[in-house]
Amino acid sequence: MAGIKALIGDEVQDKSGKMCPVEEICAGKKAVGIYFSAHWCPPCRGFTPVLAEFYKENDGDCVIIFVSSDRDQASFDEYFGEMPWYALPFAKRDVKESVSQKYGVRGIPTLVVLRPDGTTIEENGRGSVANSNGKFPQNWC
């Protein structure tokens, strides 16, 4: 877990706004998805429901952490309200920028898939999810 913690910090927030230890939410998972997206982005609005269905089918194997490119807290809150996973708090803009730079995120939506130790599985897992038919991708194991 040190890899994910080093990347995004000790805690992320859940749907209620409660802060959750990264170690706990990543424990026993095969993959951690870092989902770069924003409310104002039409392709994101199209992919988020696909990712949500995938997540509901595979949440025993993976965890997803939303990293917002929204322009304000209200937009973040509204969009995150539609998601069934965790989020980097909107106020942590410095962490968002650091993670975006580390993975060369140039456009959204982008799904970076990591192992819980922080090693990279895929820098753009969007295609794997879109083509998975709901099944957990074998290359993520």
pLDDT tens digits along 16-35: 999 999 999 999 999 999 99
Residue 60 has pLDDT above 70, yes or no: yes
Residue 65 has pLDDT above 80, yes or no: yes
Which residues, in sequence order, are bridge partners of residue 62?
31
CATH of domain 2-126: 3.40.30.10
pTM of the model: 0.95
Within 8 A by CB and 6+ apart from 11, the residues are 19, 20, 21, 22
Domain boundaries, the chain: 2-126
**Structure confidence at residue 106 (pLDDT):** 92
**Structure confidence at residue 1 (pLDDT):** 47
State yes or no: cis peptide before 116, omega within 30 of 0. no
**Structure confidence at residue 2 (pLDDT):** 63
Within 8 A by CB and 6+ apart from 59, the residues are 84
